[in-house]
């Protein structure tokens, strides 16, 4: 009867062994790479060919300037002190009109002749300033009253760019800052200084206006034009400035990969001022240190490799 027992035992043995000792199908290559990833805590070593293949660029950290700007929109207005409204002194019939819209006139130049209703004599309407007629409401033979502006003359040699500043930006804008004003998408811009920032905010638009005075001899800034502007709000010198693409975040904190001997290691940094392209490093990096400016993501991925090996994403 022992034989039966033996048979049973061996039968079961084969089955249990055959079915239960299943090794997990962990691919060998994966585990190999795990080990390598662990070694990398010492520093990621990459050959020059690999650096080139992956487009990883190393640069030197150094002092620099960080400029910041604010994007604003606005419109061109004529300077109020350079506008004159001409109103007929007496109501009467317009005898003839000498000038028309768009013509340049000089101070004292006769614009029109009106026959007064009261005196039935004619008198001349003259310009008060040198400028361009931008509006005219007068035709020959018209009976004209004394209420309406007959002519609006503006001196457009200088115009104002009135920029709307949203609440959030008001504190950054200061009188004297440079602003680059441009007309829409056309590459046609001019730099002026902010000469005024209104002390109040418009109740309706909730914006404050800032003013930039622009030269307009060429006449390209036409009042009413919609413009955009970049106001350069700050410009600061910094000891260590690096390219913004070098910043990576690991464990919710910013790091920069620096060259340490043969390999690259992630260095935690504290970030100061920044703009679209550059960033100031307050702590963690010294001037003259070699850092990875481009392709740092590959290095970050290499550091995190261990963690994303297991859970293939689904």
Partner 1 sequence: MKNIIDFALKNRLLIIVLGLIIMVAGYLSYKNLPVDAFPDVSPSLVQVFTTTEGLAPEEVEKYVTYPVEVTMNGLPNLKTIRSVSNFGLSVVNIYFQDGTDIYFARQLVNERLTEAREQIPEGFGDPQMGPISTGMGLILFYYLDDTTGKYTLEELRSIQDWLIKFQLQTVSGVTEVLGIGGYEKQFQVVVDPNTLLRYDVTINDLVEKIKANNLNVGAQFIEKDAEEFVVRSVGLTQTIEDLNNIIIKSEYGTPIYLAQLADVKIGGAVRRGVQTQGGIGEVVSGMVVKLYGANSSTVIGRVEQKLKEINKMLPEGVKIVPYYEQKSLVQSAVTTVTDALWQGIILVIIILVLFMGSLRPSVVVALSIPFSILFAFIGMSYFDISINLMSFGGLAIAIGMMVDASIVLVENVDRIKRETTTEESFIHIVSRAGKEVVQPITFAIAIIIVVFIPLFTLQGVEGKTFGPLAYTITFAMLGSLIFAVLLAPVLSSFLMKGKKKGSESNQEKKEIWIVRKLQKGYEPIVKFFINQRIAAVILAAIILIFGGIVFPKLGSEFTPTLQEGTLVLRMSMAPSISLTESTRLTLIAERRLMKIREVANVVTRIGRGEVGAHTDPINSAEMYIILKPKDEWRRDMTQTELEEIIRAEFGEMPGALTNFTQPIQMTVDELLEGVRAELAIKLFGDDLDKLKSKAEEIASVIRKVKGAEDIQVDQVSGTPQLRIVVNRHDIARYGVNVEDVQQVIRTAVGGESAGQIFEGVKRFDILVRFEPEFRTTPEAIGQILIQAPDGTNIPLSQLASIEEVVGPRQITRENNQRFITIQANVSGRDIGSFVEEGQKVIDENIKLPPGYLVTWGGQFKLQQEANARFAVVIPITLLLIFLLLFFNFGSVKNSLLILLNIPLALVGGVVGLWLTGQNLSVPSSVGFIALFGIALENGMILVTYFNQLLREGESLDEASIKGAMLRVRPVLMTALTTALGLIPLLFAAGTGSEVQRPLATVVIGGLFTSTILTLLVLPALYKWFSVKIAASEM
| Chain residues that interact with partner 1, rule: CB under 8 A | 3-4, 6-8, 10-27, 29-30, 33, 36, 44, 46, 50, 53-55, 71, 73, 166-168, 184-185, 204-206, 226, 228, 249, 252, 276, 297-302, 304-305, 307-314
**Distance between CA atoms of residues 244 and 280, nearest Å:** 9
By the 8 A CB rule, do 210 and 229 touch?
no
Residue 50: CB minimum distance to partner 1, A: 7
By the 8 A CB rule, do 230 and 72 touch?
yes
Minimum CB distance to partner 1 smaller for 128 or for 226:
226
Strands 189-197 and 178-182 come out as antiparallel
Residue 286: CB minimum distance to partner 1, A: 25
Minimum CB distance to partner 1 smaller for 25 or for 217:
25
Note the Cα 80 to chain centre separation in Å: 31
Query: Could you give phi then psi for residue 256, rounded to 5 degrees?
Result: -130, 140
Minimum CB distance to partner 1 smaller for 76 or for 111:
76
Minimum CB distance to partner 1 smaller for 126 or for 245:
245
Alpha carbon distances (Å) from 97 to 127, 141, 144, 178: 13, 10, 12, 44
Residue 88: CB minimum distance to partner 1, A: 28
**Distance between CA atoms of residues 220 and 32, nearest Å:** 68
Minimum CB distance to partner 1 smaller for 183 or for 191:
183
Strands 263-268 and 226-243 come out as unpaired
Residue 105: CB minimum distance to partner 1, A: 28
H helices then E strands: how many in the chain?
Answer: 5, 21
Residue 271: CB minimum distance to partner 1, A: 13
Minimum CB distance to partner 1 smaller for 98 or for 228:
228
Residue 102: CB minimum distance to partner 1, A: 20
């Amino acid at each position: 009867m022992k034989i039966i027992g033996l048979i049973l035992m061996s039968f079961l043995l084969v089955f249990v062994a055959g079915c239960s000792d299943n090794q997990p199908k962990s691919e060998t290559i994966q585990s190999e790479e795990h080990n390598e990833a662990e070694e990398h805590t010492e520093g990621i070593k990459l050959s020059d060919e690999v650096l080139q293949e992956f487009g990883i660029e190393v640069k030197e950290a150094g002092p620099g300037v960080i400029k910041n700007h604010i994007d604003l929109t606005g419109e061109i207005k004529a300077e109020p002190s350079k506008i004159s409204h001409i109103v007929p002194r007496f109501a009467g019939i317009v005898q003839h009109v000498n000038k028309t819209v768009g013509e340049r006139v000089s101070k004292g130049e006769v614009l029109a002749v009106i026959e007064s209703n009261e005196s039935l004599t004619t008198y001349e309407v003259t310009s008060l300033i040198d400028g361009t007629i931008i509006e005219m409401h007068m035709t020959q033979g018209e009976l004209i009253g004394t209420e309406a502006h007959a002519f609006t003359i503006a001196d457009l040699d200088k115009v104002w760019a009135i920029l709307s500043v949203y609440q959030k930006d008001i504190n950054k804008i200061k009188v004297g800052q440079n602003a680059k004003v441009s007309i829409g998408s056309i590459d046609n811009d001019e730099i002026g200084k902010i000469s005024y920032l209104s002390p109040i905010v418009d109740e309706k638009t909730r914006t404050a206006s800032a003013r930039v005075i622009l030269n307009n001899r060429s006449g390209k800034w036409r009042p009413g034009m919609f413009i955009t502007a970049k106001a350069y709000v700050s410009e600061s010198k910094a000891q260590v400035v690096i390219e913004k693409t070098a910043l990576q975040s690991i464990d919710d904190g910013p790091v920069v990969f620096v060259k340490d001997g043969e390999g690259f290691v992630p260095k935690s940094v504290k970030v100061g001022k920044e703009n679209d392209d550059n960033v100031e490093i307050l702590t963690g990096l010294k001037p003259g240190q070699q850092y990875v400016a481009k392709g740092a993501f590959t290095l970050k991925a290499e550091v995190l490799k261990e963690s994303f090996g297991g859970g293939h994403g689904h």
